Structure formats: C-alpha cells, structure tokens
C-alpha cells in the first residue's frame, strides 16, 4: 500500500523544520567559543552562554533569577513545525532546552540524551 503524497509531504516538511531548528542551534554553538578554563577540570563556562542563547531563541520571556519561563513564553523555534499542536509547544520546549545539558552544573551527560530523544519522538 502506497503512502499518500500529502502524508509524505507533511513528514518532509517536518524533517526540514527539525533540521532548521538544529541548524539554528549549530549556529549558536559556532558563535559561542570556549573560554580558557585551565583552572578547572569541569565543563567550560562558555556552555552557560550557549545554554542561555538557545533559551533566548526558543523563549521570548526572560524571568527572574536568569531562568527562562518555558510555560509563559512563546517558543519561537517550534511554531513552524507542521502538525505540532500549539498546546504541546510549551511542554516540548523544556525537553529541547534540557537536551543540551545542565546549565548550573555545566554537565553534558545528565539525561540530556533522553531529553533530546523525547523531543524528537513527540514531533511525529
């Protein structure tokens, strides 16, 4: 049984939109160079800048204590993903931001992979 062309088109548009989101994150990473951190064996402090820039692009409202309010903002990266219910955008935005690591601990292995997989999974 053949897949209807409209279904294929929706999936292709979705993949193109997802790649656009990831391209934006890659651009942010390229614009966030590492800083000299020879005094510490832990993650590079520039990661916090990267994390903040991803959050800024994703969310439009900056809240108190330098945290972004994912639940009251309008996530801009997700609005162009086809077939994504508007009510789901705020929830999946949390998965997306946390997919890049933990800002406070400068930790890249704290479940971020699972957050990224959850973000991808809910797209389709």
Write the burial class of residue 6 (CB in 10 Å: 0-12 exposed, 13-18 middle, 19+ buried).
Answer: exposed
| Dist CA 31 CA 26 (whole Å) | 9
Give the pLDDT band (50/70/90) at residue 2. Answer: confident
Characterize 70-89 residue by residue with b for buried, 16 or more Cβ atoms within 10 angstroms of its Cβ, and e for exposed: beebebebbeebeebeeeeb
Question: What pLDDT was estimated at residue 30?
Answer: 94
Give the pLDDT band (50/70/90) at residue 29. Answer: very high
pTM assigned to the model: 0.72
Question: What pLDDT was estimated at residue 71?
Answer: 37
**CB contact at 8 A, 94 and 70:** yes
pLDDT in tens, 78-88: 666 777 777 77
Q: Where are the domains of the chain?
A: 5-35+42-121
């Amino acid at each position: 049984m053949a897949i209807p062309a409209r279904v294929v088109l929706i999936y292709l548009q979705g993949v193109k939109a997802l790649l656009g989101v990831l391209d934006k994150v890659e651009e942010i990473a390229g614009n966030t160079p590492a800083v000299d951190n020879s005094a510490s064996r832990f993650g590079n402090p520039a990661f916090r800048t990267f994390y903040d820039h991803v959050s800024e692009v994703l969310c439009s409202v900056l809240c108190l204590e330098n945290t972004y309010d994912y639940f009251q903002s309008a996530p801009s990266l997700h609005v162009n993903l086809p077939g994504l219910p508007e009510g789901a955008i705020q929830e999946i935005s949390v998965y997306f931001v946390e997919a890049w690591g933990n800002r406070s601990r400068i930790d890249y292995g704290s479940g971020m992979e699972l957050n990224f997989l959850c973000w991808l999974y809910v797209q389709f």
